[in-house]
Amino acid sequence: MRRVVILVAALAVLGAGGFWLLTMPGLQRAGLEPVPTGEPDLANGRTMFFAGGCASCHATLGESDRTRLGGGLALHSPFGTFHVPNISPHPRDGIGGWTVGEFVRAMRGGVSPDGRHYYPSFPYTSYQRMPAGDLRDLFAFMKTLPAVEGRVRGHELPFPYNVRRGLGLWKLAFLDGKLFEPDRSKTESWNRGAYLAAGPGHCAECHSARNALGVIVEERRYAGGPNPEGKGWVPNLTPDKTGLADWSKGDIAEVLSSGLTPSGDSVGSNMAGVVRNTSQLAASDRDAIAEFIKSLPPKVGRKGPQ
């Protein structure tokens, strides 16, 4: 019996040690590449800010000024409730004390400056496609915005999701760290749209079904899925009859500009916030996103109230 107890204890120690090693944030290599030197391009940073929809989640609750990124929004999910943090340039309560390298590391690798894993409710699974240069510009633009005092409450997650260290295993399995790769057989505008949609725009994060581990099901990417917050259904973006088959490229660009659909309705729910951002993009960028979306392969999605 004593030998059995010793064996079980030894296995437990080995298991704990293996878990600790495999979940180390240092194993995440995304975001560790050198940041380009030189002056940031603030105009490009502004484009990345609106393409990324930063204000949609991080704008201070109850304030009309969407450049005040004090956070506070509660994101409800099957894994618990995530409270969106302050990402204003406040030196204590926001990201004003971060270096640009720490910002790139957070955006691409989901690792905080103090070495903790971020939960993928922060969509670094899409932001990992962004090169360090665009992230440098985004960070520089965000530092021009108002500093907002105040920190947001912690996440409310049940066990085992509250074991943040365990995200290391999730990342090893599902975070590939790859940058966006242009398709040389496509047009320059198509590639621009594909990058904006797949990277900063993170369109698939809402418009795709997920499995039990919270991972996008690849064959359902862009085909719509349950609202991550549990109410309603996010529409199919592909040109299937259950999606945007009857929409033209111009129709898609118009929605991104005004929020008006071909039938004359206005988008609502979270998409209204998306339009507030995409309406600030250059028309050429909205056209590029529309070109990419219109080129998606048709996938059958859910039809009905959306």
Distance (Å, whole) CA 42 – CA 140: 7
**Within 13 Å, how many C-alpha atoms sit on residue 209's CB side?**
13
273: pLDDT confidence band, cut at 50, 70 and 90? confident
Q: pLDDT band for position 189 (50/70/90)?
A: very high
Residue 2 has pLDDT above 80, yes or no: no
Q: Worst-scoring range by mean pLDDT, 25-29, 168-172, 192-196?
A: 25-29
Token pair 């878990």 in the structure block, residue: 19
Please state the φ and ψ torsions of residue 27, each to the nearest 5 degrees: -75, -15
pLDDT band with cut points at 50, 70 and 90 for residue 119: very high
| For the chain, percent of residues with pLDDT exceeding 90 | 67
Query: Which residues in 243-282 are b (16+ Cβ under 10 Å) and which e?
Result: bbeebebebbbbbbbebeeeeeeebeebbebbbbbbebbe
Indicate if the pLDDT at residue 297 is higher than 90.
Answer: yes
pLDDT in tens, 65-118: 889 999 999 988 889 999 999 999 999 999 999 999 999 999 999 999 999 999
Higher pLDDT, 54 or 227: 54
Per residue in 202-241, pLDDT (tens digit) is 999 999 998 988 999 999 999 988 776 667 788 899 999 8
Contact 301, 224 (CB under 8 A): yes
> Which is more confident, 274 or 267?
274
Output 14 or 233, whichever has higher pLDDT. 233
Angle between helices 249-258 and 283-294 (to 10 degrees): 130
* pLDDT on residue 142: 97
Report pLDDT for 5.
57
Residue-wise burial string across 74-84, b where 16 or more C-beta atoms lie within 10 A, e elsewhere: ebebebbebbb
Which residues lie closer than 8 Å to 24 by C-beta, 6 or more apart? 168
Q: Are strands 74-77 and 80-83 parallel, antiparallel or unpaired?
A: antiparallel
pLDDT recorded at residue 230: 64
* pLDDT, position 81: 93
275, 255 Cβ separation under 8 angstroms:
yes
Q: Do residues 115 and 56 lie in contact, with contact meaning Cβ atoms separated by under 8 Å?
A: no
Of 214, 197, 216, 158, the residue nearest 278 (C-alpha): 197
What do you get for the CA distance between the two ends of the chain, in Å?
61
92-103 per-position pLDDT tens digit: 999 999 999 999
DSSP class of residue 59 equals S
Residues making up the chain, counted from first to last: 306
Q: How many CB atoms lie within 10 A of CB 207?
A: 24
pLDDT score recorded for residue 259:
87
pLDDT value for 11: 52
Of 50, 119, 107, 29, the closest CA to residue 81 belongs to 119
pLDDT band at 140 (very low <50, low <70, confident <90, very high): very high
What average pLDDT does the structure give for the chain? Answer: 88
Q: Decide if pLDDT at 7 tops 60.
A: no
Q: Which of 208, 170, 199 shows the shortest CA–CA distance to 79? A: 170
Query: Which of 184 and 232 is assigned the larger pLDDT?
Result: 184
At 168, the pLDDT band (50, 70, 90 cuts) reads: very high
Q: Which residues pair with 266 in a beta bridge?
A: 260
